[in-house]
Structure 1
Amino acid sequence: MRLNLTSDELLATTRAVRKRLDFEREVEPEVIDECLDAALQAPTGSNAQGWHFLVVRDPKLRLGLAELYREAFSGYIAMQKEAAAKAGDTDDGSVQNRVRSSAEYLAEHLHEVPVHLIPCIYGRPEGLDQSMMAGLYGSILPATWSYMLAARERGLGTVWTTLHLPFEKQAAELLGIPYDRVTQVALIPTAYTLGTDFKPGPRRDKSKVIHHDRWS
C-alpha cells in the first residue's frame, strides 16, 4: 500500500511512532526490502561500503532485544522522572510527560513489534576523534532516515531508538554480530500503523533555533 504523499507531506509527517504500532499485522518481507532499497540509495560518505542492516523477525530474538532494551530503559526513565520532579514538571499533559508515556509503552511492548531493524556500520567509535566519529556515522544515519521515510510512505511506522546500546555487546552475541568490527547504530521498531493520519508535530519557533552567519 502506498499513501502517495507529496515529498513535503512525507517529511513533515514521518513521526516517531510508539503507541500506534500494529502488533497484530504481519509486515511482508518484500515491503521491508523496498524500504531498504531506498535506504541504500541515500547520499554516502567515505564509509558507505560499511553499511549493514540486520532485519530481526524471529520472536525469540526480538524478545531478547526487548529484554536488553527494558533493562537500560528502567534506569533511563528513573533519571528522567527524577529530573522532571526537580524541575517541578508535574503536568501530566506536558510534552515531556506525553513522550515519556509513549516511551514506556514502547518499552513494555517492544517484543511484540514484528520487525526490529538494526543499522550497523563497519568500524568501532572507540578512540576516534570528533571528525572521524562524524564520518563513521555520517552515512548510516541518512540511510536509516531514508528507510524510515520509505516505511512511512508504505503505511509503516518507525521510531529511532538507541536504548539497547548500553548492552550492545550482549545484543551482538545474541544476533551473531562481530562486535569488535561492527558498530550497531540504533534499533528501529517497524510495524504497520493504526491509521495513517499523522500530522506535523509541535516544534519550537524556528527563529529560536535557526542562526544566520553567526550564532547570536
Structure 2
Amino acid sequence: MAGAESASHSSTPLLSLTTEELLTTTRTVRRRLDLERPVARADVERAIEIALQAPRGGNKGGLRWLVIDDAATKQSVGAIWGECAEEYLRRLPADDPMVPGARRLQQVMGQVPMLVIPTIQGCPPQGSNRVRTASFWGSVLPAMWSFMLALRAKGMGSAWTQIHLAQEERVARILGIPSEVTQAGLLPVAWTIGTRFKPARRERVEKVVAWNAW
C-alpha cells in the first residue's frame, strides 16, 4: 500500500482494554468522530494489516483496501453517501433512536480524516447459490470488523456503513474502481472524542440460543 509512512512504523500505543472490553465496546461511531485530529497513514495501514488476518470464505483472496485522505475526493464521496443516507432516513420514523447519529454522520462524512472502502475482486454471485454467496461476502466482511476492532484498540473509531452501495457505480467512477471489483462498505476513520464506550443494548442470550434443536 502506498504511503509515506510504513505500517511497521506505527507507534500509537494501544488502549488498556481486555479482549472482552474490546469486543463489547467497539461501536459504530457517528457523533464522536474527531474531525480535527489527523490520522496517521501508518496507523490505518497497521489496522488493515491486522484485518487481513481475518477468516475468509473458501480462503479466497482478492481483497483490496482503498483509503481516501484527499480532501476534494472525500467531499465527493461523502456527498454521495449523504444522498443515499437521506433516502434511507426518510423512511425511518422521526423518533428512531438512530436518526440523530445518522444525521450527524451525514453532515460530516466528507470531513473525517480518512474514508476506507474495502473491496473484493469479482461480483456477488447471482441466483440462489447460498454457498457461493456466503463464501463471497464471508471473504470480506470479517475483515471489515477486524479493521474496526484494530482501530478501537488504538483509540480510533469508525462506522459500519454500506448505504452508499445504492450508488456504487458513481463512487467507482470517482475513484477509478474497475467494474469487476465489488465495494463492501464505506468506513469513516477518525480518532474518537473520548475512548470510553459502553456495550450496546442487545438481546439476552437465553432469548437467542437453542441447544441441539430449534
Do they superpose with TM above 0.5? Answer: yes
Code of the residue aligned with 1:186 in structure 2: it is G
CA distance in 1, matches of 2:56, 2:166: 27
- Taking every aligned residue pair, what percent have the same amino acid on both sides? 40
1:132 aligns with 2:132: yes
Secondary structure, aligned partner of 2:64 = strand
TM-score (norm 1): 0.89
Q: What is the aligned partner in structure 1 of residue 38 from structure 2? A: 26
CA distance in 1, matches of 2:213, 2:74: 46
1:170 aligns with 2:182: no
CA distance in 2, matches of 1:117, 1:182: 15
Residue 213 (structure 1) shift? 2.4
Q: What is the aligned partner in structure 1 of residue 156 from structure 2? A: 156
Code of the residue aligned with 1:207 in structure 2: it is E
Provide structure 1 residue ranges, at least 5 long, that are not aligned to the other structure.
85-91
1:7 aligns with 2:19: yes
Secondary structure, aligned partner of 1:49 = coil
Residue 38 (structure 1) shift? 0.3
Instruction: Tell me if the contact between 1:164 and 1:187 (Cα under 8 Å) persists in the aligned partners.
Output: yes
Q: What is the aligned partner in structure 1 of residue 82 from structure 2? A: 70
Residue 47 (structure 1) shift? 5.4
TM-score (norm 2): 0.89
Instruction: Tell me if the contact between 1:47 and 1:136 (Cα under 8 Å) persists in the aligned partners.
Output: no
1:99 aligns with 2:108: no
Residue 130 (structure 1) shift? 2.1
The alignment's C-alpha RMSD in Å is: 1.4
Residue 46 (structure 1) shift? 2.5
Secondary structure, aligned partner of 1:189 = strand
Instruction: Tell me if the contact between 1:43 and 1:143 (Cα under 8 Å) persists in the aligned partners.
Output: yes
Q: What is the aligned partner in structure 2 of residue 89 from structure 1? A: none
Larger relative contact order, structure 1 or 2 (CA cutoff 8 Å, min sep 6): 1
CA distance in 1, matches of 2:210, 2:111: 42
Residue 144 (structure 1) shift? 1.2
CA distance in 2, matches of 1:195, 1:136: 36
Q: What is the aligned partner in structure 2 of residue 87 from structure 1? A: none
Residue 145 (structure 1) shift? 0.9
Secondary structure, aligned partner of 1:54 = strand
Secondary structure, aligned partner of 2:57 = coil
Residue 102 (structure 1) shift? 0.4
Q: How many residues align?
A: 201
Instruction: Tell me if the contact between 1:44 and 1:139 (Cα under 8 Å) persists in the aligned partners.
Output: yes
